[in-house]
Each structure stands twice: as C-alpha cells, then as structure tokens.
C-alpha cells in the first residue's frame, strides 16, 4: 500500500447529516484535500446497543486496527488523525474506546517524531492518555456550540517547527490573534498534560502548549512545544463546513440537547462569523509534512 495519512474514524455516520456531508472521516479527508500525502480512512468506532457490540462489528474493528498497526510497523502510515465523536473520551467499558486507548499508549506514544492530530473527541482522548483530566463542562457552562471565536496563544508561533507561522501570518506581516472555528462539545480538557510526573518515558520528555482559549473552554488545543511525542490537537471542528454545522445545530435543537436561546445565538454566530477551518487545514498539513 502507498504511503498515506491514516484517519481513524471514531464515530458511526450521523443520520440526517452523513447523507449530505459524509461522516467524520470524509470531513477530515475533505479538510486535508491539499495534503501532499494521500489520506485514507479506517473505521474504528462500532455501533453499541446497551453497551454491547455484534461479533461481526468487533471483528471488523480488530481487522482495521491490525491493518493500521501493520502499516505503522512498515512505515506506510506517515501520520494519524483521530476524528471527532459523539462518545465521551472518559467513558469506560466501551469496547472500541478501550481498544483505542490501548492503541494510543502502545503504538502512538512509543513512536518518536511521529505526527498525531486530534480533533474534538480526538483532542480529548489524546489529552486523557497524556494524563489530563477530561470530563463534562461545569453545568453553568454547558455546550460550546456553533462557530466560536478563539483567542490564540501567541507563544505557539515561536515553538520549534511551528506549523502555525505561515497560516496565521497575514500579508501585512501581522499575526492573527483570534480564529473562528466550529465547536460542538460539552466535555473539556481541564489543563495541560502533567508530563513532569508521567511514568511513560517519552511523555515525560515532552512538553506542550495550549493553542488558545474561550470563556467556555480554556484548553482549545494542544501542540508539542518540545520533546519526542509530536501532538497537534483542536477542541474545535475545523473539518465542519458552515452548512453542515447549521444542520447539526438544527438536529441538536430537535433532540432537545440545546435550548432555543442557545440554538438561536449559535445559529446567528455560525451564519455571520467567517469559518476559518481552512486555515487550520494548512496548519495540520504543515505539521504532518514537517516530520516527514
């Protein structure tokens, strides 16, 4: 098989959305359409009914994990992207998530200078495996949803091999201080990885910076500052285009997951703020290419 970026799809298709916009993996593939390395999807999440999975689905999941592990070993996979999901990263007893946690620890955190990207749930599950607290937002915070303005951490521009330098620099030389990304989450990462106390050797040698913050979520992403584990994550969904985001807002409202005021405010923001996901696409491609 040819060299490629592996996208691990961590949810099943969302009814009412996937028919028009594809699944999480399709969204990532579209986001990274300008990647110099081809992008290939691997379905990891499987349907669960009352916490149980069908034997055939488990077999399919294991087959896909085996393929990914084999391609990592042979060097065919050049980077991995973990997608979003409707699941909770802190869940236990979920067969595919338990298997994913094992995979992250044994195959991703043991490979120096191998680029790993996480989006929303992918961000959270990587952070959890790095030792961060990941849980529900406080009740008074609730959902962060729709296109949202993030205040950027200026120091991300000065890290070694910063993937942000060119994409965040305007033609006049000024650097973006804020960016608008689509958000769909009510779980958050509560702090930076406590690497100084990590028992895992490569994690203990790695330090991370925070991408940015909002008033609802202070950790909007992680990027390796120094050290062997190369991580880039975003709490937002740069892969969601505006029309898809508006459809998902409608579904959340219909499912009574958000109230009318939240729906109307988030819809207004999503229609009126410029979705700058394409800028993050350039950041991700830069990040992956810098470690080839």
Contact 88, 128 (CB under 8 A): no
Q: 122 — phi, psi (to 5°)?
A: -60, -40
Quote the domain boundaries for residue 173: 4-289
Q: What is the pLDDT of residue 203?
A: 94
Contact 144, 183 (CB under 8 A): yes
Q: What is the pTM of this model?
A: 0.97
Contact 150, 178 (CB under 8 A): yes
Per-residue pLDDT tens over the stretch 214-223: 999 999 999 9
CATH number of the domain where residue 249 is located: 3.40.50.880
How many domains does the structure of the chain reveal?
1
Is the confidence at residue 164, as pLDDT, over 90? yes
Question: Would you tell me the crossing angle of helices 95-103 and 121-129 to the nearest 10 degrees?
Answer: 60
Q: What is the pLDDT of residue 285?
A: 99
| Strand ranges of the sheet holding 178-185, from the earlier edge strand across to the other edge | 178-185, 144-152, 212-213
Per-residue pLDDT tens over the stretch 79-104: 999 999 999 999 999 999 999 999 99
Q: 13 — phi, psi (to 5°)?
A: -60, 140
Contact 129, 109 (CB under 8 A): yes
Q: Tokens 């505006």 label which residue?
A: 242
Q: What is the pLDDT of residue 181?
A: 99
- Which pairs count as long-range contacts for 17-25, CB under 8 Å and 24+ apart, including other chains? 17/244, 17/247, 17/248, 17/251, 20/244, 20/247, 21/241, 21/243, 21/244, 21/247, 24/83, 24/84, 24/85, 24/239, 25/83
Q: How confident is the model at residue 200 (pLDDT cuts 50, 70, 90)?
A: confident
3 state SS of 81:
strand
């Amino acid at each position: 098989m040819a060299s490629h970026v592996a996208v691990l799809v961590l949810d099943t298709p969302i009814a009412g959305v996937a028919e028009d916009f594809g699944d999480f993996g399709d969204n990532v593939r579209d986001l990274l359409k300008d990647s110099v390395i081809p992008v290939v999807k691997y379905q990891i999440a499987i349907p669960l009914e009352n916490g149980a999975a069908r034997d055939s689905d488990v077999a399919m999941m294991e087959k896909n994990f085996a393929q990914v592990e084999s391609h990592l070993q042979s060097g065919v996979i050049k980077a991995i992207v973990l997608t979003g999901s409707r699941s909770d990263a802190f869940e236990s007893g979920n067969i595919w998530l338990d298997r994913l946690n094992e995979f992250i620890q044994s195959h991703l955190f043991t490979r120096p200078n191998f680029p790993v990207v996480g989006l929303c749930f992918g961000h959270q599950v990587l952070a959890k495996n790095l030792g961060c607290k990941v849980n529900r937002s406080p009740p008074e915070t609730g959902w962060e949803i729709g296109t949202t303005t993030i205040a950027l951490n200026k120091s991300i521009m000065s890290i070694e091999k910063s993937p942000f330098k060119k994409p965040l620099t305007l033609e006049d030389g000024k650097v973006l201080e804020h960016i608008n990304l689509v958000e769909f989450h009510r779980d958050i990462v509560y702090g930076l990885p406590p690497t100084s106390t990590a028992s895992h050797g490569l994690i203990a040698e790695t330090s991370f910076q925070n991408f940015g913050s909002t008033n609802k979520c202070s950790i909007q992403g992680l990027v390796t500052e120094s050290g062997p584990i190369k991580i880039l994550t975003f709490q937002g969904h740069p892969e969601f285009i505006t029309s898809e985001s508006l459809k998902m807002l409608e579904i959340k409202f219909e499912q009574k997951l958000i109230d009318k005021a939240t729906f109307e405010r988030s819809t207004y923001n999503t229609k009126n703020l410029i979705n700058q996901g394409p800028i993050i696409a350039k950041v991700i491609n830069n990040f992956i290419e810098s470690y080839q």
